[in-house]
Structures are given as C-alpha cells and as structure tokens.
Amino acid sequence: MSTSAAFYRQFKTQLPGTALRALDAAELLLERTLASAAHLAERRGNAASFIVADLTPYDLIHEDGLLSVRRYRPLEAGESPARSKRHRVPVLLVPPLAADPLNFDLLPQRSLVRFLLAEGFKVYLVDFGSPDRDHSHWGLADYTTCLLPAAMASVRKDSRVKDISLFGYCMGGLFCLVHAGWAHDPKIKNIITIASPIDMHQIGVAGQLLSAMRTPIRLVRRYTGFRIHQLDPARLNVPGWVSSLAFKLTNPVGTLTSYLDLLMNLWDRDYVVQHDTMASWFNDMHAYPGGIVQDFVVRVGLDNALSKGRVKLGKDQEALLTRIDASLLAIAGTGDKIVTVEAARKVMDIVASSDKLFKLAPGGHAGVFAGSKAPATTWRMAADWLRPRSR
C-alpha cells in the first residue's frame, strides 16, 4: 500500500461517524459517476460490446436465399444436468417475422435455446431473414407452404427423424398452425405456441377496431369491387423501424421507464449489458413484406379467418385448422396487451387435437416469452409438456 493510501485510511479512522458516512457516500458517487462516463463512452464507440445475444454455437444445415436453418450444438460437459436424456424428436423453433431470431437465444442466462438443450432436446431454428423490396410479394402462403416446409425438410434430413415438434412465438406460432392445417402432415408430432393470436377481434382496442370495420369494408367490397390484394404489395412494405416504434408505443410508459432505469444504473455494467441486449430485440426489427401485410390485414385481421378454422392461402389453397390433430400446447401471457388471453385461447375451440392444453404464464407480450420469469414458468411448462411427447 502506498504512503498516500495509508495516510488516507488513517485519516478516515479519525473522522466522526456522520462525516465518515458522508465521505463514503461521496466516494461511491464518484466511483459510479466515473463508471457511468466510461460505459457511456464505450456504448457510443462500440455499442456491440454490450450485446451478448445469439452466442450459443450452431451449425447452418440449410441456406437458400433469405432462408436459413440452424442446428444448435449440444452443451459442453457440465453445462447440462446429468439427468437430462437426449430426446428423439427434434424441436424446430419458429420466430415471428419482425423480431430477429436472437430472441430465442437472448442472454447466456436467459436463453430458450440453451434451456431446451439442457433438457436434452435436439434444437433447430428457422431464420426467415430480413426481407426487402425484392420480397414484397411474399405472403402467408410463401412462409407456410414453401419456406417453413423447406426448413422442416432440412431438419428431418439432418436429424434422420421424420417426427418433428414445432415451437413458435407470436406470428411464428401462427405459421406453425397454418402450415399444419395446410399440410395435414401426420409426422408433425407436437406444436407449441406462445402468445399467438387466433381470434384477431379479441386483441384489445385493435381487435375492437377490426370488428367495427367489418361492415364498412363489406360495403366497399360489394359496391366498388376494391380489394387490398389488388394493390402492388411493394407499396405496403412496413419498414423495420415502424414495427419497432409500434411495439414500443403499445407500452410507452414502460419504454420511458426502461430508459430512466438505464440512466440510473449506467454505472452497473451487468445492468447495461442486459438492458442493451434486450433493447436490441426491439430496436433492430425486420421489415414486413407487403404480401404478408395484405394477408394479415384482410384474411387474418378483418375476416378473422383463423378464428373460423379456415384461411385462404394464395389463390387456390387453404389451411384448415379444424383438421390439426397434432398434440398442442398453447401458452398466453396474463399481462399481454397485444395478444390477449381470449385471443390466444380461441385455438382450443378450433383444432381437432384430442391432446391439447392451454396454459397461462406471467408477463406481457415479450415477458411471457423471454422475461426474467420465463425460464421458471413458460419454458418449464413447455419442456415438461414436450418431454413425454418426444420419445
């Protein structure tokens, strides 16, 4: 210890209690101020250093244009509980379009991918990529009758197992259901959906608006012949920043509070890492192709076709959700303002599955899937349900 440091320590021992506490508080404030300044400078110069998502090792088993499929490698020795068995049926994770697939592997200690690997599952993930104007025409039929089947074929080839479990979040869950209703594939053994809306007229204020618009839209169709599908889909592309802004506006107070919390905890590197990693999910969203916008506005939204068990795909195909007989687990968030419990529960009235279960878990639209409580609630429900059905 240097002479000056020793002198300072000796000086502090001479101070009365009140003065010592004030000095300790001043030291802590100075330390946190310097740390905050250092973290702020690093965030401006190298923001990526605070983002720790998408770190679980994987191999690409399929690439075709925007579409790619990952096979995640088994965890290293010591990372997986000794009791975990390797389950025969592979799990294919299906993300929503706007969100980057990193939300399945968000944080090292909060990763659905790592959780399922630790439970002994063979885990694959489909990445639909980030569409641009060249993909404006892509609609519901493209994702559910072309891209998702191609991903499933690559998983079956790689795993050498025909049976497969589909695990989708939000729109990803809808893709799983629509595909199953179209393909009538008996080898789709299990389907898990999280926060996936079936009754679009039950999604809060937006649902009420869609329901109220049915009559005016019906009159427009009857007397003008106008159809949204007649528009050039390139004119309906939704940029990623719009999706990001719309998501944040569903909870503006929470968004503002998160930034205030960051400001107060900028000195804590672990807090900044967690905040910036979570924020990357919402800040870097992908675009919606115009074709999918057309389908979701008209068929899924205004017509509420999914709630009736039948949705048209393209010009001459359709998906019949009423013929789905795979085992089904549907989970909804108790605090989800985007996909309400009622909107998600409707799937129980639609599918023909004899083995189907609806569960509630705490959290909003993002929290129910990847919040701090998700590993002990949503993920645990999914793994426990899936384990005996993956033999």
Which pTM value belongs to this model? 0.85
Residue 262, sorted as left (phi over 0), alpha (psi -120 to 50) or beta, turns out to be: alpha
Cβ(375)–Cβ(205) below 8 Å: no
Which pLDDT score is estimated for 116? 97
Q: Are β-strands 164-169 and 91-94 bridged in parallel, bridged antiparallel, or unpaired?
A: parallel
At residue 363, φ and ψ (nearest 5 deg) are 125, 160
> What is the distance between the alpha carbons of residues 89 and 15, in angstroms, rounded to a whole number?
68
pLDDT band with cut points at 50, 70 and 90 for residue 7: low
> What is the distance between the alpha carbons of residues 124 and 161, in angstroms, rounded to a whole number?
13
Q: Count Cβ atoms below 10 Å from residue 254 Cβ, excluding itself.
A: 12
> What is the distance between the alpha carbons of residues 356 and 192, in angstroms, rounded to a whole number?
10
Q: Is 383 helix (H, G, I), strand (E, B) or coil?
A: helix
pLDDT digits (tens, 9 = 90+) for 256-294: 788 788 788 888 888 788 878 788 877 888 889 999 998
Cβ(108)–Cβ(114) below 8 Å: yes
Q: Residue 203 is part of a domain; what is its CATH number?
A: 3.40.50.1820
Which pLDDT score is estimated for 35? 80
Query: What value, to the nearest 5°, has the Cα angle with vertex 178 and ends 202 and 348?
Result: 50
Residues listed for the chain = 391
The verdict on residue 187 lying in a domain is: yes
> What is the distance between the alpha carbons of residues 110 and 101, in angstroms, rounded to a whole number?
14
Cβ(133)–Cβ(158) below 8 Å: no
Most confident range (mean pLDDT) of 98-112, 114-128, 231-245 is: 114-128
Most confident range (mean pLDDT) of 46-50, 210-214, 341-345 is: 341-345
* CA within 13 Å, CB half, 229: 14
Query: What value, to the nearest 5°, has the Cα angle with vertex 46 and ends 44 and 51?
Result: 110
The verdict on residue 267 lying in a domain is: no
Q: Is 178 a residue whose pLDDT tops 90?
A: yes
Q: What is the mean pLDDT of the chain?
A: 87
Nearest to 229 by CA among 175, 310, 140, 291: 291
The verdict on residue 26 lying in a domain is: no
The verdict on residue 338 lying in a domain is: yes
> What is the distance between the alpha carbons of residues 341 and 326, in angstroms, rounded to a whole number?
22
pLDDT band with cut points at 50, 70 and 90 for residue 299: confident
Cβ(368)–Cβ(194) below 8 Å: yes
Which pLDDT score is estimated for 211? 59
The verdict on residue 250 lying in a domain is: no
pLDDT band with cut points at 50, 70 and 90 for residue 83: low
Cβ(297)–Cβ(229) below 8 Å: no
The verdict on residue 191 lying in a domain is: yes
> What is the distance between the alpha carbons of residues 386 and 379, in angstroms, rounded to a whole number?
10
Query: Which structure tokens are listed for 210?
Result: 């869609």
The verdict on residue 40 lying in a domain is: no
Q: Is 325 a residue whose pLDDT tops 90?
A: yes
Determine what percent of the chain is predicted with pLDDT higher than 90: 51
pLDDT digits (tens, 9 = 90+) for 53-70: 888 999 999 999 999 999
Most confident range (mean pLDDT) of 129-133, 194-198, 249-253 is: 194-198
Q: Is 33 helix (H, G, I), strand (E, B) or coil?
A: helix
Residue 45 is classified by DSSP as H
- For residue 368, what are the domain limits? 52-236+287-389
Helices 252-264 and 269-283: crossing angle in degrees, nearest 10, is 150
**Domain count within the chain:** 1
Query: Which residues touch 24 (CB under 8 Å, ≥6 apart)?
Result: none
Tell me how far CA of residue 122 lies from CA of 74, 117, 119, 283, in angstroms: 8, 7, 9, 30
> What is the distance between the alpha carbons of residues 108 and 170, in angstroms, rounded to a whole number?
22
pLDDT band with cut points at 50, 70 and 90 for residue 87: very high
Cβ(53)–Cβ(274) below 8 Å: no
Residue 109 is classified by DSSP as T
Between residues 339 and 26, the one the model is more confident about: 339
Strand intervals (E) in the chain: 58-64, 67-72, 91-94, 123-127, 164-169, 188-194, 310-313, 317-320, 327-333, 356-361
The verdict on residue 63 lying in a domain is: yes
Residue 363, sorted as left (phi over 0), alpha (psi -120 to 50) or beta, turns out to be: left
Nearest to 35 by CA among 340, 389, 322, 272: 272
